[in-house]
Amino acid sequence: MSSRTAILRNRATAEGDVTSQTALPASDVTAPHGLRKRRGVNREGLEAGRRSTRTILWILLAVAMVLYGFPFLYLLFTSFKTPIDTIAVPPTILPKEWTLENYANALGRSGVLASFINSVQTAIISTVLSLVLAVPAAYGITRYKTPSGRVFIMAALVTRMVPPVAIGIPLASMMSSVGLADTPIALSIAHTTISLPLSIWLMSSFFEAVPRDLEEAATVDGCSRLGALWRVVIPVVSGGIAVTAIFAFLASWNEFLFALLMTAIRSQTTPVVIANFQTQFGLDWGSMTALAAVYSIPVILLTLLLQRKIVAGMTLGAVKG
């Protein structure tokens, strides 16, 4: 790669960031539009200016946030109650006595830790599979704009509408006929049927934002088309790949129906275990809330950390429309 390509690439990396952000206004949620004048003195657009109005709006927001945040907080509080206290009538919001008993019960139950490992395994395999398939496909669709590419992206959109319950059973019998029944591989393939169309869609939008002269410069410098994709374009869209990976991971991590249909004991993921708590062991609400908390908190934290990227991915399809 000559220095010219390198310069172009650096420029494009900078531009790529800018274009991908201007294409996705929400990825920069801090600066809505244009330059903002001094807040509270000059309002712009829809922002409220008057102090009294703003006070009312803040009160509204506070109420909304409390109502919206409360259910999960209640789950957390409940998970720290004693098992008896969780089903006390009438219920209390805060635990009378804070204890980790529910956590010990939930995590100590056989199969729970194994299900965590299965969930992680399945989600990772599914994410990798989605990316390996979606990245070249999306690149082929956006760069060469062939008729087959247009047909393909429409077909991928249609697969998004297929209800999992319709293909779950045939898929499960296919997997058992090739000896993959009840394995994380089989489940991650099923999860990829959900995340692949989404990944192709997301990656297409990211490739769209990469300037074309970048690969042209690389091919002039003697790169093959595949080499240009691998060494020049992929590094530029690495942010987009990260977003796509997060979405694929979350889709698999939180999925329940395929997991229910396709796993028995060996490869069961945690959502299935959580759901089984209520039948197998009666109504063990304490352990259930503890396990639900343990399962949800890592992904909530991950999201808060990667908030800007996730916002970008979620609004992408919609705003570009």
Partner 1 sequence: MRITDRRFALYLMTPAALFLAVFVAYPLFRLIADSFFKISPIAGGPRDFVGFQNYVTAFASEAFMGAGWRTLAYTLVVVTLEFALGLGMALLFTTLGRSSQVWRTVFLYPLMIAPIVAGLLWKFLMIDNFGLIGTLLHQAGILSNPNQIGWLSDPNIVLFSVAIPDIWLTTSFMCLVLFAGLQNIPGDLIEAARLDGARAPALLFRIILPLLRPVIAVALVVRGIDAARAFDTILIQTNGGPQSASETMSLLIYRTMIRFGDPGLASAMGTIYLLAMLAVAFFAVATIWRPGKDN
Q: Which alpha helices (H) appear in the chain, and where do they start and end?
A: 3-23, 51-79, 83-86, 101-108, 112-144, 147-159, 164-177, 184-208, 213-220, 225-228, 234-236, 238-253, 257-262, 270-280, 285-305, 307-320
List the one residue from 7, 18, 65, 84 that touches partner 1 (CB under 8 A).
65
Stretch that binds partner 1, among 10-18, 64-72, 209-217, 234-242 (CB under 8 A): 64-72
Give the tokens for residue 261.
């249909």
59 near partner 1, rule: CB under 8 A: no
**Number of residues located near partner 1, criterion CB under 8 A:** 107
Binding mask 232-261 for partner 1 (x = CB under 8 A): ------------------x--xx-xx----
202 near partner 1, rule: CB under 8 A: no
- Shortest reach from residue 28's CB to partner 1, in Å: 9
Contact 184, 118 (CB under 8 A): yes
Binding mask 280-309 for partner 1 (x = CB under 8 A): -----x--xx--x--xx--xx-xxx--x--
Give the tokens for residue 250.
């979350």
Cis peptide before 90 (omega within 30 of 0): yes
Length of the chain: 321
Contact 249, 123 (CB under 8 A): yes
Positions 119 through 178 that interact with partner 1 (CB under 8 A):
132-134, 136-137, 139-141, 143-144, 146, 148-149, 152, 155-167, 169-171, 173-174
- Shortest reach from residue 3's CB to partner 1, in Å: 26
196 near partner 1, rule: CB under 8 A: yes
Q: Which is nearer to partner 1, 248 or 288 (CB)?
A: 288
**For residue 259, is it left (φ>0), alpha (ψ between -120 and 50) or beta?**
alpha
Type of residue at 16:
G
- Shortest reach from residue 7's CB to partner 1, in Å: 26
> Which of the 8 DSSP states describes residue 282?
B
- Shortest reach from residue 92's CB to partner 1, in Å: 9
102 near partner 1, rule: CB under 8 A: no
